[in-house]
Amino acid sequence: MALSDADMQKQAEEEFNIEKGRLVQTQRLKIMEYYEKKEKQIEQQKKIQMSNPMNHARLKILRARDDLITDLLNEAKRRLSKVVKDTTRYQVLLDGLLLEHQMIVHCRKQDFPLVKAAVQKAIPMYKIATKNNVDVQIDQESYLPEDIAGGVEIYNGDHKIKVSNTPKSRLDLIAQQMMPEVRGALFGANASRKF
């Protein structure tokens, strides 16, 4: 059965239309994919542009909080230096700082009489509390710097172990341990923390 020219023309047109439709559909899908990708990229850029100012604002807040805490600690250190000038309060502080076993005590030169009195008070308290004797020597050759806020540094007999019992070192220790509570009291609970 031979196909007539008209049939062949019709069949060629049908095949052409099918192929043309397939190509159009393929290209249309490619174009749609391209624009979907572009939309996602634009959306991503918008998110990035919105998050940058938020991150900068959050960093500013964190810096301001850190500055406030630093200012508070500096104020506490300033007040510690006032405690040292009040000999009655300072004597009570020194009495509590000097409860170690065998020790060599370093102090500021101007604090020597106060430290000596604190050592004399601490020895009986130590003996009662620990039921042990204590050997205490106050180093009169090596003093702490004059510009610190007082206190003592205590060494064991061979100077291998040092305990810094100065008001500043105590404040630093307390500040480090209490930092989460200080932040919570000043700024409230951190909503982004899960623990």
Pairing of strands 152-155, 103-107: antiparallel
pLDDT digits (tens, 9 = 90+) for 162-172: 778 888 888 88
149 neighbors 98 (Cβ within 8 angstroms): no
pLDDT digits (tens, 9 = 90+) for 20-50: 989 999 999 999 999 999 999 999 998 888 8
Fold type of domain 82-178? hypothetical protein PF0899 fold (3.30.2320)
Where along the chain do its domains lie?
9-46, 82-178
Average pLDDT, the chain: 83
pLDDT digits (tens, 9 = 90+) for 112-154: 999 899 888 888 887 887 777 888 888 888 888 888 888 888 8
Tokens of 28: 């249309």
d(CA 156, CA 141): 16
pTM (predicted TM-score)? 0.47
pLDDT digits (tens, 9 = 90+) for 50-82: 888 888 888 998 899 889 888 988 888 888 777
Higher pLDDT, 171 or 190: 171
